[in-house]
Structure 1
């Protein structure tokens, strides 16, 4: 492969901050054993590590994980069982067993993506990975939006308005609202 290949260029360019994970040598030795004993589990572990957040967690359906590893859902379930039994990962159930989802948390002795001293805290968040097949159709109608003022723009009062909630303005004391004033020589 030459450096003109776009895939090679992606690998030699510096990565964005936050894309690194760390591992220990002992973890690599154990991973070598896992690769020989359960190659699909090792493959899935690499996908989990590549997609986990800074806390080592990822929420994804088994169907999405199967798609990412290019295997069946049944093979993914078996690989997950190996990873759970051998303590490579743990799962945290979100919601009920029938309608809930699982968060997969990679063992922090194997791989981590934050400062090592931050691993002592019990904060939990997760990356959520959803394939297009897992998404519910949200419809095609437009969502409501809130008007916003862009950079360098000013909000100007226009149209009818409600009376102030407390009292009307005092005579000869109008509120100071932002307004554009025209120069006198522009009017002539």
Structure 2
């Protein structure tokens, strides 16, 4: 199986023993579906979701798209995963949400929420064009680590030339009052 570029290593998932026993049975009955389930669990995000095309899943499995489709029928029929359509029937992609009673990667109490983010996989073949190595480098934006202090550098910008937001209310004496005080 090809390694996914930018994949996060060092993460974990949890399963219950009953899920492992059922998964072992699935391996014996439907080995390609079990392999696809392992692939989905290995690449899901903390909420148990993964967005990927069936072609990308086929590439990762080393199988055909037809094999992935048959495996997904087994996984959805037997409630291993839910498939959620993202976008239109013709131009959309699927989000695969692993049954949280099978595997999860977050605190167990966080699994009761229905909303999810997803990790999205897009193969090079599905992207809008060939990968180009001749593009100019991106502008480097400096970043600060915790504890770093930004130091001023250079001339800086001139002060703004706008009038004050609030005109000061200076005390004043009227001319008549001033003449009375003098006179």
Q: Calculate the TM-score normalised by the size of structure 2.
A: 0.71
Output the CA distance in 1 between the equivalents of 2:51 and 2:27: 24
What aligned pairs does 1:61-72 form with structure 2 within 5 A after superposition?
61-72=53-64
**1:149 to 1:129, Cα distance in 2 relative to 1, 3 A:** closer
Match of 2:104 in 1: 112
What aligned pairs does 1:116-135 form with structure 2 within 5 A after superposition?
116-135=108-127
Question: 1:103 aligned to 2:95?
Answer: yes
1:88: Cα distance to partner?
0.4
What 5-or-longer segments of structure 1 have no aligned partner?
Answer: 1-14, 169-188
Q: How many residues align?
A: 150
Between stretches 128-137 and 24-33, larger displacement belongs to 128-137
1:3-46 Cα deviation digits (max 9, x unpaired): xxxxxxxxxxxx73xx1111011111111121111110000000
Larger Rg computed on CA atoms = 2
Between stretches 118-127 and 138-147, larger displacement belongs to 138-147
Match of 2:162 in 1: 166
Question: 1:31 aligned to 2:23?
Answer: yes
Output the CA distance in 2 between the equivalents of 1:165 and 1:88: 65
Between stretches 137-146 and 45-54, larger displacement belongs to 137-146
Give the RMSD, CA atoms, in angstroms: 2.6
What aligned pairs does 1:81-100 form with structure 2 within 5 A after superposition?
81-100=73-92
**1:60 to 1:154, Cα distance in 2 relative to 1, 3 A:** same
Output the CA distance in 1 between the equivalents of 2:113 and 2:161: 48
